[in-house]
Amino acid sequence: MDGKLILIVDDEPRVRFTLALILKHHGFQVLEADNGLEALRILAKAPEQVQRVDLVVTDIKMPVMDGLELIKILKQSDDPINILVMTGYGDRETMSLLQGMGVCGVLHKPFDGEQLIAAIRPALAES
């Protein structure tokens, strides 16, 4: 799994910074976006990069474009990508919706580094 490229999408800079530190410590490469629209821009540039993004780890509640809209767009693409969701809003309706959208998993905030890595490994194995 070392060297896999993960895109973190979260509007909170401290969250992105912390997640990036944890992932880099575990040998992953990391890109960051602060909303869904920026994530789409980064992913559009990915074919120009040497390496393809292997996993998107996204929050749900964000300004500009939220995680649900991002997931819908990514799942409709010709080159679908695995998605792991982070959320502090674990209501049944949202969980049911996410399950129906085919995400690889849901991490409930707050979570620690071990939980993050434990969720990422199977999500990457699906790719």
Give residue-wise pLDDT tens across range 36-81: 999 999 998 865 665 789 999 999 999 999 999 999 999 988 777 8
Which domain does 115 fall in, by range? Answer: 5-125
Tell me what pLDDT residue 50 has.
Answer: 55
Domain of 39, CATH number, reads: 3.40.50.2300
**Number of folded domains that form the chain:** 1
What secondary structure, in 3-state letters, does the chain show?
A: CCCCEEEEECCCHHHHHHHHHHHHHCCCEEEEECCHHHHHHHHHHHHHCCCCCCEEEEECCCCCCCHHHHHHHHHCCCCCCEEEEEECCCCHHHHHHHHHHCCCEEEECCCCHHHHHHHHHHHHHCC
